[in-house]
Each structure stands twice: as C-alpha cells, then as structure tokens.
Amino acid sequence: MYNWSVGEFAEFMPQETKTVRASADVLRERRRRFRRTRVRELKMIAKALASTKHPVLVHIIPMRRCNLDCGYCNEYDNVSKPVPLEEMKKRLDILADMGTSIITISGGEPLMHPELEEVIRHIRKRGMIAGMITNGFLLSKERIGTLNEAGLEHLQISIDNVVPDEVSKKSLKTLDIRLEWLAELSVFQVNINSVLGSGVKDPEDALKIAHRAVELGFTSTVGIIHDGNGQLKPLGTRELEIFEEVMTLGKRSFSRFNDFQHSVARGKEHDWRCRSGSRYLYICEDGLVHWCSQQRGYPGIPLAQYTDEMRHREYSTAKHCAPMCTVSCVQQVGIIDNWRGPQTLKPKPMAPPPAQPELVQIGSTRSDS
C-alpha cells in the first residue's frame, strides 16, 4: 500500500492549513460532553440489546431545501420551506414516546432551518441523543457557539474532494477554514466523512481528507457512493487500498464496527438483517415514515399513524435491497440485531389505521320550570 510522505501530502493541501488548538475552557467542556454522551451511548446499546420494541436511530428532515447542488445527490430540492418548529416538536415527541434513542437531523441542509437550535434543544429535552449531518458551508464561529449551547452531541460533514469541481463543491479547499473553527470552538464530536466510488474523479482525495480530519482531532470515516437506489458500485484496486487505509484511521469512531463495508467495497453481497422501518426510521419533511433515504415511498405512512404493530412487522420483514445496500447508518443499527429475530415476512402495502369516529358528548337537558 502506498503511503504519502509529509511533503507529498502537504503539496495537495489547501494553502496555509494549520493545526488548531482549542482553549482550556473548550477542551474541558468538550471532554465533559464527550463523557456524558458516551455514557448515554452505552446505555442506548444496553437498552437496544434488552428490547427490540423501540427505534434505535431516526433520521429526521426539517428542511429538504439545500444551498448546494451536488451532481450525485437525490436528497434535496431548491424550493421547500422549513418544517415549522411546532410540527417538528410534535414529531420528536412521537419519536420520544416510541423510546427512540438517537435523532440525527439531516436534509437537504439542516443549517438553513431558521429554528434549528430549538429543534436540537427539544431533542435533548426529550432525552434523546442529538446528531446532525451538514455540508458545513453555513457554519460560522457564531453558529458553532449556538450549536454548542443547544446541546448538539454529534456532527458529521461529508467532503467529496480536495478541490471543488462541477459535480461537488464540498471540497477541502472551501471547507478547511470551517474545520479549523470546529477544531477550535466545538464541544460536540465531529466526524469527517470522505467518499469513494462512482463520480469521484480522484480517489486519492479521500485519503488526504481523512488525514486532515485526524490532524484536526476529528474522527474520520469513508463512505462508498451508492446509485440512486442506494445500491453499491464496487471499488477499483487503488480505491480499495485507500478505503482500507482510511478505515484504519477511523478506529477511534464507531466505523470500526462497519465490517459490512469491506464486503460492499468489493462488490460482494452482505448477509445481514435490515431493520429499517423498525429500529431505524427515516422521517421526511412531510412527516412520512420511509425505510431509508434511498427507499423513500415505502411504507409512506404518516408518523402519527405509524403504529407499534407496523414497526414490529417491519422488524421481521426481509428487505429486497439489503444484500447490496451501502447506507451505512442502517447497517450500523442492524448490527445490534443481526444475531436474532429471523426475517420471515415480505413487504406488503400498508395503510394508516382507520380514523376513529369523533366522540360526541351528550349532556343532560335542563328545563326551566
């Protein structure tokens, strides 16, 4: 495997990059929040092992609109309005009542939501772990501060290349200053996800991005770009070498449990039990429940009408797309239950439960006599 020397690596980095140190106060608060979050994560795992009746992870979309237009992305539009705060709170309350452990806010671009910090506060108020996936372009020093105060615990930025191109503007060159701000000011955990696969012009970029992430004190993961249906595109020989090296850099993160990605990278089917619709839920901006971001449309039931029975059925339902799936968050959730709960059911059309007739209270009639 080819290893970059310091000089070679620096040659491809944006100019004037630097290693940033946080203040003593930030480091102290970062350590405190990390310890508390890790304790909650361990409790989450224990709870998930003890019972299969609740969602472990939910991705929720407060904003489908995005400020970028990446050529490979099918998860955004240019016109949607933000979901109103009170509606977001209602959805979060339903998820909390289900026993959900983790909420990840995604999009579109969630930082475009005008009341995002209130959404995060409500997640924390209801006892759930709060995470977010963002392209990072709207981060500022002030915004990092408000995210700290709101109680954000995890943030992930996906960076596609070192220099922006016609496919993606999410480059190290454009985002590096924001990464430095995060290294200096954030008290939440930050993960930088690089990508390999179809549409990536230079696979070496993933390695450079991963090294920069580790240099700044972040965790690093690598994703494999899927097609429009969330299915895999096998990697080439050099891409595989880079993939394995980046995975070793991610040993501090939960990516070390992503053994399924080694199969995906080689174009092999992965034998696992997808628990989407049950242990993992994807809630779109319209408040509908879907298997995941790449299988939107099924079951398509409003969250408020998605019953325990529906979730329990999906737990035992085999998913046709599972063997070649590259959606890592769903795969990670599946690890908890892969050893139990055989999936013997097939998907079937679902309909919301019939509306209950409105009760009319008949009071006594008082006569004046």
pLDDT tens track for 226-260? 655 555 667 888 888 888 888 887 655 554 556 67
pLDDT of 14 > 60? The answer is: no
Q: Give per-residue pLDDT as tens, 74-127.
A: 677 888 899 999 999 999 999 999 999 999 999 999 999 999 999 999 999 999
The Cα–Cα gap between 279 and 291 comes to 10
Predicted pLDDT at 11 = 40
Helix 116-125 and helix 141-150, axial crossing angle in degrees, nearest 10 = 20
Q: How far apart are CA 338 and CA 261, in angstroms?
A: 15
Most confident of 15-19, 156-160, 204-208, 273-277: 273-277
Share of the chain above pLDDT 90, in %: 60
Q: What is the pLDDT of residue 226?
A: 61
Name the average pLDDT for the chain. 85
Cα distance between residue 137 and residue 112, in whole Å: 10
Domains of the chain: 6-335 (3.20.20.70)
Residues sharing a CB contact under 8 Å with residue 64, sequence separation 6 or more, in sequence order: 75, 76, 77, 80, 107, 108, 284, 285
Helix, coil or strand: residue 290: strand
Give residue 12's pLDDT band: very low, low, confident or very high (50, 70, 90).
very low
pLDDT digits (tens, 9 = 90+) for 314-364: 999 999 989 888 888 899 999 999 999 999 999 987 777 665 554 444 443
Show the DSSP H helices in 71-192 as ranges. 85-98, 116-125, 141-150, 172-185
| β partners of residue 105 | 60, 132
Q: Identify each DSSP E strand in the chain by its residue range.
A: 57-60, 102-105, 129-134, 154-159, 189-197, 219-225, 280-283, 288-290, 299-302
pLDDT of residue 262: 74
Q: What is the CA radius of gyration of the chain?
A: 22
Instruction: Tell me what the mean pLDDT of segment 11-22 comes to.
Output: 63
The model's pTM is 0.87
- Give the span between the Cα atoms of 53 and 184, in whole angstroms: 40
| Share above pLDDT 70 across residues of the chain, in percent, rounded to a whole number | 84
- What is the pLDDT, as a whole number, of residue 155? 97
